[in-house]
Structure 1
Amino acid sequence: MLPEGWKEIFLGNILDFKNGLNADKAAYGHGCKFVNVMDVINNTIIKHENIIGKVNTTAKNIDLFKLKYGDILFNRTSETKEEIALSSAYMDHSLAVYGGFVIRGRPKNSNINTDFSLYFFQSPSFRNQAIKSAQGVVRANIGQDSLSRILLPLPPLPEQKKIAAILSTWDRAIEGTEKLLANSQQQKKALMQQLLTGKKRLPGFTGEWKKTNIGNIAKEISIRNKNRKNYPVISCTKTKGFVDSLSFFNKKVYSDDLSGYKIISRNQIGFPSNHVEEGSIGLQNLHDDAIVSPIYTVFSMEENADPLFVFAVLKTDHYRQIFAAATNSSVDRRGSLRWSAFSQIKINLPSLPEQQAIAAVLTTADEEITTIESDLLRLRQEKKALMQQLLTGKRRVKVD
């Protein structure tokens, strides 16, 4: 049942759809600004100054495919149905054209507010219908006719404007939190570059750092799960470190027989021997004990090394490059970095108290980042819930 004052509309009644410009390969890279499918996928709002692509075309084509302020753009093809018909709005008056993998929707009348349209085409109702309308086996596609037949509830213009104003408040809060997160991450990166190399010393520490082989401060652990205990299975990712495999991948990615898997205890470090050069190395702090695939190398620290400090050093871009070089020079035909070669890599260490002090500073920085990430997730969830209510009329707004 429609809320009072709302009406159901077919998109074809409010938008004029048109496919974009196709040009020869040589035409790209110079000429007027050109909006491609990635611009649409990656942005909710497109501004002229942020468009990277260019195309050299005729005056006739420019007239046919030039964008106007408030045009809605949809990607018409994707590898998956879930990413079909993602939308963005061109919010600029400067000259730009759009590409052949993009469908332009131009408002036919004043029935839809430009700011409201930013949220209107993110609604679950639109997304669900667009996904169901997608066709294709290898790639998902959607056409003008399918978009035209999508039926959506539309509030009156005054209510559209109020809804857009409310949701834009959440957008500003999200944008501010994203900037705060980026600043905190950058500050941590700068701290790591200074503290982990000794360029900046914490108060009270002056002793000389010593270079040694990893094998002198760590020992390999290779205990198999022979008793088939029901330990949690974990995997190492490039960005998040160790994660619980089942919950992270939403499917079982490990063997039925776990007897050959390696046990990795809390504060031990591990990496998949064939992916460490990509940055896949983690500190196990999820469980007292867990298990990893047999392809992993697992090691623990000796008493003269702090695991948090050593892990932070090994996680830097500098060591990722070292791992890549060591992997490329490895005699292992599978391109793996085994403990025999890994243990010979050099590491520069301060005294144990200084290692622990540096680790404490970086842990505080991590906790701050985690707090901001939680705030950002909460804001996004609140906005999503609010959109669901406002764009369906389940929650009405007061119009002045």
Structure 2
Amino acid sequence: MSLPGDWNYKRLEDVVSKNKYAMVDGPFGSNLKSEHYKPEGIPVLQSGFVTSGIFKADKYVYVEQQLFEEQKRSSAKGGDILMAKIGAQAGRCAIIPHDHVDSIIAGNCLKLSFDDNDTRFFNYVLAFDYEKSGLSEIKTETAQPAISLKSLKAYKVPVPPIEEQKKIAQILSTWDQAIATTERLLDLARQQKKALMQQLLTGKKRFNPDDNYSYLIREGFAKSKLGALPSDWKIELIKKHLWYQEGPGVRNHQFTEEGIKLFNGTNIQFNKIDLANTTTHISEDECIGAYKHFLIDDGDLLIACSGISVDRFDEKIAFASSAHLPLCMNTSTMRFKALNDGAVDITYFQYFMQSPVFKNQIRRQATGSAQLNFGPSHIGKCFVVIPSLEEQQKIASVLSAADQEIETLQSQLDGLKQEKKALMQALLTGKRRVQVPEAEAA
């Protein structure tokens, strides 16, 4: 790729600091034994700290000062770049926070130090190359992908003048700050919704707080499984007020390239139906014939009932709309409709299924330890908590507003990330130049 006239490509080893330990890999790998671990001392930086592209360490292991001195060639400090060396995330990197005065890197990491060039700029270059190609040209494709120190030293990167490096890094850092702020707002909105669900779906928060509400522990199943609930709420089996159906086990030999699309659990992502990730169909003749009663209707509440943990089950619930139709159910999915008795609002029931009150029932009912695997027989033993229809609708309205806020923030976050990606493509290749004041460039 051609670069502006005042840019050039250089090997990374010619860009980093002149110190002979500016680019090193870690001394520890399988040789780091439990006897090296200490409750305090010098922290060991590991590849898992950068797998999100941002330095994030939840838990450290430490080594004593003497071992650190013996392996000081692999020391790292705040402001250096830490890169994952081995595994699926090989090539991922992030800047070590400045509060790390003395650290040492593990054997699954690489470290890069910069003096005369801008660290943030080259962190963006390496991060962009990873997102674009995974740094595939310097990875060894063995049992586990890996990046050797030798290949990283020879890796060529674009090098603009130093002041342009700084300006580009400053611009992209501003975008990172906007992304981080939006991520925090999104996380807060999700936490607030979770707290609201816990309060509203157990009656701890009511819409008329001046009323004299009371709580009681129900006898039988509800006593041991559902806990205290408002005395004016009913607890009844789901099957009394909702119709539900499990998808059929359509066989591979029945799949076609055209016809009616089949709905699978993987088509629900974060409470949205996405049919773009499957091309599996069944013929119209077969669907309208033997499988006619599995055709999904507008407004059906759909769930995935296998292949996901109980804790993430709340992500696998979504409503079908006319835009998704025609659509036929397949294995490991279920659909729900509220019966005409008017006892349960289907939108309220959607949120009830996301609540711990429901998930705890399923956790005890479901087969399989790591992932959910349940069906109509399990649902048939589960209870639904039933406030008045008016209160159900108010609960659904409040939680729907919370979902809308989350969706808006997610859309903003996706937009920021996409715009930053396009900006990186332009700035890091010199296709878009930045203005550097003459005083800075001199």
TM-score bracket for the superposition, by shorter chain length: 0.7 to 0.9
Aligned to 1:104, what secondary structure does the other structure show?
A: strand
Out of 339, 344, 357, the position equivalent to 1:318 is 357
Structure 1 residue 289 displacement after superposition: 4.9
Structure 1 residue 45 displacement after superposition: 4.2
1:202-213 correspondence to structure 2 within 5 Å: 202-203=207-208, 208-213=232-237
Equivalent residue, structure 1, for 2:108: 101
Equivalent residue, structure 1, for 2:91: 85
Distance 1:164 1:349, change over 3 A: same
Report the Cα distance in structure 1 between the residues aligned to 2:194 and 2:414, rounded to whole angstroms: 22
Equivalent residue, structure 2, for 1:143: 148
Report the Cα distance in structure 1 between the residues aligned to 2:53 and 2:308, rounded to whole angstroms: 32
- Equivalent pairs, count: 385
Amino acid at match of 1:38: G
Report the Cα distance in structure 2 between the residues aligned to 1:230 and 1:364, rounded to whole angstroms: 37
Out of 63, 70, 75, the position equivalent to 1:55 is 63
Contact 1:126 1:150 in 2 (8 A): no
Task: Find out whether 1:363 has 2:387 as its counterpart.
Answer: no
Distance 1:129 1:188, change over 3 A: closer
Structure 1 residue 222 displacement after superposition: 6.0
Aligned to 1:74, what secondary structure does the other structure show?
A: strand
Aligned to 1:85, what secondary structure does the other structure show?
A: coil
1:1-400 correspondence to structure 2 within 5 Å: 1-15=2-16, 16-22=22-28, 23-28=32-37, 30=39, 31-45=41-55, 52-56=60-64, 58-79=67-88, 83-92=89-98, 93-107=100-114, 109-110=115-116, 112-124=117-129, 128=133, 130-203=135-208, 208-221=232-245, 230-236=259-265, 240-241=270-271, 243-245=273-275, 247-248=276-277, 252=279, 254=280, 259=287, 262-275=294-307, 278=310, 279-280=312-313, 281-286=316-321, 287-302=324-339, 303-328=342-367, 336-400=373-437
5+ residue gaps, structure 2, are 17-21, 214-230, 438-442
Identical aligned residues as a percent: 27
Contact 2:42 2:62 in 1 (8 A): yes
TM-score scaled by length of structure 1? 0.85
Report the Cα distance in structure 2 between the residues aligned to 1:365 and 1:349, rounded to whole angstroms: 21
Amino acid at match of 2:162: L
Computed over aligned residues only, the root mean square deviation of the Cα atoms, in angstroms, reads: 3.2
Report the Cα distance in structure 2 between the residues aligned to 1:137 and 1:72, rounded to whole angstroms: 25
Report the Cα distance in structure 2 between the residues aligned to 1:288 and 1:335, rounded to whole angstroms: 27
Contact 1:84 1:131 in 2 (8 A): no
Aligned to 2:198, what secondary structure does the other structure show?
A: helix
Contact 2:12 2:152 in 1 (8 A): yes
Amino acid at match of 1:52: Y
Contact 1:277 1:324 in 2 (8 A): no
Structure 1 residue 63 displacement after superposition: 2.4
Distance 1:336 1:366, change over 3 A: closer
Aligned to 1:97, what secondary structure does the other structure show?
A: strand
Deviations 1:88-140 (A, max 9, x none): 12232521111001111223x51x11232331222338953821221123211
Structure 1 residue 68 displacement after superposition: 2.7
Distance 1:190 1:222, change over 3 A: closer
Report the Cα distance in structure 2 between the residues aligned to 1:223 and 1:64, rounded to whole angstroms: 60
Distance 1:125 1:392, change over 3 A: farther
Contact 1:121 1:127 in 2 (8 A): no
Structure 1 residue 183 displacement after superposition: 1.4
Deviations 1:291-326 (A, max 9, x none): 221343333111321111011111123322211211
Structure 1 residue 160 displacement after superposition: 0.8
5+ residue gaps, structure 1, are none
Distance 1:377 1:271, change over 3 A: closer
Structure 1 residue 276 displacement after superposition: 7.1
Structure 1 residue 149 displacement after superposition: 1.7
Aligned to 2:232, what secondary structure does the other structure show?
A: coil
Structure 1 residue 328 displacement after superposition: 4.3
Report the Cα distance in structure 2 between the residues aligned to 1:389 and 1:140, rounded to whole angstroms: 29
Aligned to 1:398, what secondary structure does the other structure show?
A: coil
Report the Cα distance in structure 2 between the residues aligned to 1:396 and 1:326, rounded to whole angstroms: 60
Deviations 1:182-224 (A, max 9, x none): 1111111111111111111124997921111101111234687
Report the Cα distance in structure 2 between the residues aligned to 1:349 and 1:176, rounded to whole angstroms: 38
